[in-house]
Chain A
Amino acid sequence: MWHILKYVARRGRVTEPPPEPLAGARRPAHLIHDELLAILGRALAIRHVDAGSCNGCELEINALNNPYYNIEGLGIRFVASPRHADMLLVTGPVSRHMEVALRRTYDATPAPKLVVAVGDCGCNGGIFGESYASCGGVANVIPVDVAVPGCPPPPAELLAGILTAVRARGEGEAAQADFAPGFN
């Protein structure tokens, strides 16, 4: 244990300020915190769905959890069930064999049901395109709020895409407020 504590103490904190949605500029974590709270009324819960990617995008999504990006520190966490999720983070292309599973995952997700399509393949099928085995981009199967291009998109761009989707929904729904924040 002593060894572990010593190791941790020597490395210190490496977490970097997160990027501004789309613009890429950095801003303090507590502002993102506040914004998520204002829009969702709670931490943002994300369910990742790999609908047929090459696994490159998954490597970069996993990197979001490392101490540099520290997304849990921003109030964003990955959850194990779509029923617990505010957002689906979907990598593509959507294979024909994953089409039904993706639709069912979408149906199981409660409001606000945000969808971020990840990577060139998630945007439009990428190099795999559409064929007997591939439906192409995520938007061909379920509605998409924000698409993050890149092959694969680096973690900072993924994070910017996630925040953009939340903010866009916040602006769109501020007037209607059709879900009660805090207790759902």
Chain B
Amino acid sequence: MEFFGLDCHFERLDAPVPIFGARVHAAQWSALALAVAEAKGRLVSLWGSDERAAGDGFAVSAAYASADGLLWAKLGLDAAKPVYPDISRFFPAAIRMQRAARDLVGVEAEDAGDGRPWLRHGAWPADYFPLRLDNTGQERFEAHADAYPFVLVEGDGVHEIPVGPVHAGTIEPGHFRFSVVGEKVLRLEERLGYKHKGIERRFMGMDTDEGARLAGRVSGDSTVAYAWAYAMAAESLVGAKAPERAVWLRALFLERERVANHLGDLGALGNDAAFGFALAQFSRLREDWLRLNRECFGHRLMMDCVRPGGVARDLDADGGAKLRRQVADIAREVAELRDIYEEHAGLQDRLVTTGRVTPELAARLGLTGLAGRASGQAADLRADFPWPPYDGLAVKACTHRNGDVAARVAMRFDECFASLRLIEALIVGLPGGAVHEPVLATRDGVGAGWVEGWRGEVFVALETNAQGRIARCHCHDPSWQNWPVLEHAIIGNIVPDFPLINKSFNLSYSGQDL
């Protein structure tokens, strides 16, 4: 297939979501980026790979979301001088991804403005690239001093507040550098990568079944989304399809994961606005929810429940009845709590207009997922490209336009009710049959998976070598797109509102640090 009138043939991958792949040359690489940007498409991901084992040089890949589906363009690069045209001119979200691709593979975007490392701190030297095949990933280096040049804000009364990497609460590590005047934030600069633990290197050499376990641990709060995207990639790689009952159960897991996270966030958001009642009640509901996960599916977070070829856990009639009863209970409780939220003037005062991202800014910066939908970006894969079983469930993307913390809270309430409806429909309509048919890659191939997790779109690109072992597996978290937007959301707000704004995005550190 051809897109945007470009002379470049895309091959459709054998996935339930429309995903097309093509090898491009440098001119097509830039033309495609421009065409997608002009058609108001999105950059989903960008990553590098070492293809010298297959007799090529290096490669850089970009995945775009267009109206027709996902377009995966791969550009081969010279082994001696792996450089490619910068696409951050069209998609600002590409900046950090290009920096990460340089740190891990050593492929460089030409004339990109920001030359600072992103995922590399002081643990390995600048000329070591962990994803290159001449390295094993087991090398150890003496840690060297790590001086990262933050952008300096100068002026009368401006001072800096450095926060992290170890934060005050029970959350993940990262560094925030605030430049403030009094209480007002002039600028926030994030520095992430503290949790980089070499996940992408770890994938290399695993068989596709082993990889599923690792994919499920890229970001623990999205384990089902990652496991499903990975399973979709592994299945599309060999042209297999998971049994019908299995894909229905996957959707059931995914919606339960969405509700679990929304319940947790709604409580934490209330708490960050000093409304402790909300935390107590929502965390109680979340605990009920997780306990039933464990009872029905053997794990509170449903880790390893989705695997290539189907699912690891089935649901019996008794479990189905319990889940349906719980859906009714939770729906009633959340409706009551929503009334309490809405009539609480003190709470609303903290939420409304705080941390605003306008729809225009969201579109320009590529804000995605739940936070994007709170700023008028109506993209939801379940509604845009409904793959089984969503094709029969009439999913509608919930959206708001205010883009403030209150809108992101409202999104969570709306999506919670929508997912509860879906869970009910999924249990009622659950088809019979097997839940797993083994799928294992035995030769070289390419697959991809694309799933709407609770935070946003999770994308997995998977390539195997001649022995069917993983040559490259790239997992993409929507946090890549949304972290830079958080820097804008805080501008002009006061420092004490940062935890609230940050929580309303609730982005993954682990998912972006890899």
Question: Judging by beta carbons under 8 Å apart, are A11 and B143 in contact?
Answer: no
The interface residues of chain A lying within 8 Å CB-to-CB of B343 are: 3
Nearest chain A CB to B323's CB is how many angstroms away?
Answer: 20
Question: Judging by beta carbons under 8 Å apart, are A55 and B137 in contact?
Answer: no
* Binary per-residue interface labels of chain A (78-97) against chain B in the complex, 1 for a CB within 8 Å, 0 otherwise: 10111000000000010111
The interface residues of chain B lying within 8 Å CB-to-CB of A110 are: none
- B201, CB-defined interface residue at 8 Å: yes
Known: A133-B130, A152-B301. A127 touches B121 (CB 8 A): no
Nearest chain B CB to A85's CB is how many angstroms away?
Answer: 11
Question: Judging by beta carbons under 8 Å apart, are B195 and A58 in contact?
Answer: no
Known: A4-B340, A54-B218. A100 touches B143 (CB 8 A): yes
Question: Judging by beta carbons under 8 Å apart, are A131 and B137 in contact?
Answer: yes
Q: Among the listed B123, B218, B280, B286, which residue makes an inter-chain contact with A133, where contact means beta carbons less than 8 Å apart?
A: B123
CA distance A55 to B479 in the complex (A): 14
CA distance A93 to B513 in the complex (A): 13
Q: Among the listed A11, A57, A67, which residue makes an inter-chain contact with B283, where contact means beta carbons less than 8 Å apart?
A: A67
Question: Judging by beta carbons under 8 Å apart, are B277 and A4 in contact?
Answer: yes
- A28, CB-defined interface residue at 8 Å: no
* Binary per-residue interface labels of chain B (202-237) against chain A in the complex, 1 for a CB within 8 Å, 0 otherwise: 100000000001100111110100000000000000
Q: Among the listed A59, A97, A99, A134, which residue makes an inter-chain contact with B301, where contact means beta carbons less than 8 Å apart?
A: A59
The chain B residue sitting closest to A10, CB to CB, is: B336
Binds B, one of A33-41, A45-53, A169-177: A45-53
The interface residues of chain A lying within 8 Å CB-to-CB of B168 are: 80-81
Nearest chain B CB to A116's CB is how many angstroms away?
Answer: 14
Size class of the contact patch on chain A: 35 or more
Question: Judging by beta carbons under 8 Å apart, are B336 and A56 in contact?
Answer: no
Known: A131-B198, A133-B198. A54 touches B264 (CB 8 A): no
CA distance A28 to B61 in the complex (A): 58
Question: Judging by beta carbons under 8 Å apart, are A57 and B287 in contact?
Answer: no
CA distance A20 to B366 in the complex (A): 50
- B390, CB-defined interface residue at 8 Å: no
CA distance A51 to B173 in the complex (A): 7
The interface residues of chain B lying within 8 Å CB-to-CB of A93 are: 197
CA distance A63 to B513 in the complex (A): 24
Question: Judging by beta carbons under 8 Å apart, are A55 and B197 in contact?
Answer: no
Question: Judging by beta carbons under 8 Å apart, are A55 and B509 in contact?
Answer: yes
Question: Judging by beta carbons under 8 Å apart, are B217 and A56 in contact?
Answer: yes
Q: Among the listed B165, B198, B508, which residue makes an inter-chain contact with A132, where contact means beta carbons less than 8 Å apart?
A: B198
Question: Judging by beta carbons under 8 Å apart, are A132 and B139 in contact?
Answer: yes
Known: A59-B264, A65-B283, A66-B284. A133 touches B171 (CB 8 A): no
- B196, CB-defined interface residue at 8 Å: yes
The interface residues of chain A lying within 8 Å CB-to-CB of B223 are: 56
- A180, CB-defined interface residue at 8 Å: no
The interface residues of chain A lying within 8 Å CB-to-CB of B297 are: none
CA distance A129 to B198 in the complex (A): 9
Nearest chain A CB to B99's CB is how many angstroms away?
Answer: 15
Question: Judging by beta carbons under 8 Å apart, are B264 and A50 in contact?
Answer: no
The interface residues of chain B lying within 8 Å CB-to-CB of A81 are: 168
Question: Judging by beta carbons under 8 Å apart, are A127 and B214 in contact?
Answer: yes
Known: A3-B343, A60-B300, A62-B264. A95 touches B195 (CB 8 A): yes
- B156, CB-defined interface residue at 8 Å: no
Quick one: which of A7, A11, A133 has the most chain B CB within 10 A?
A133
CA distance A56 to B213 in the complex (A): 14
The A131-159 residues at the B interface (CB cut-off 8 A) are 131-134, 151-152, 154
Question: Judging by beta carbons under 8 Å apart, are B143 and A152 in contact?
Answer: no
The interface residues of chain B lying within 8 Å CB-to-CB of A76 are: none
Nearest chain B CB to A158's CB is how many angstroms away?
Answer: 11
Q: Among the listed A59, A99, A154, which residue makes an inter-chain contact with B221, where contact means beta carbons less than 8 Å apart?
A: A59
Q: Among the listed B121, B140, B294, B510, which residue makes an inter-chain contact with A55, where contact means beta carbons less than 8 Å apart?
A: B510
The interface residues of chain B lying within 8 Å CB-to-CB of A80 are: 168-169
Q: Among the listed A3, A60, A100, which residue makes an inter-chain contact with B339, where contact means beta carbons less than 8 Å apart?
A: A3
Known: A3-B343, A128-B217, A131-B198. 7 other contacts (CB 8 A): A8-B277, A50-B170, A55-B510, A57-B220, A97-B194, A131-B137, A133-B124
Listed by A's residue number, 13 A-B pairs whose Cβ atoms lie within 8 Å are A48-B170, A54-B510, A56-B221, A59-B220, A61-B170, A67-B284, A96-B124, A98-B195, A128-B202, A132-B130, A132-B141, A133-B123, A154-B294
Binding site for A on B (CB under 8 A): 121-124, 128, 130, 135, 137-141, 143, 165-166, 168-173, 193-199, 201-202, 213-214, 217-221, 223, 264, 277, 279-281, 283-284, 286-287, 290, 294, 300-301, 303, 336-337, 339-340, 343, 508-510, 513
User: Which are the 5 A-B pairs with shortest beta-carbon distances?
Assistant: A56-B220, A96-B123, A133-B198, A66-B283, A80-B168
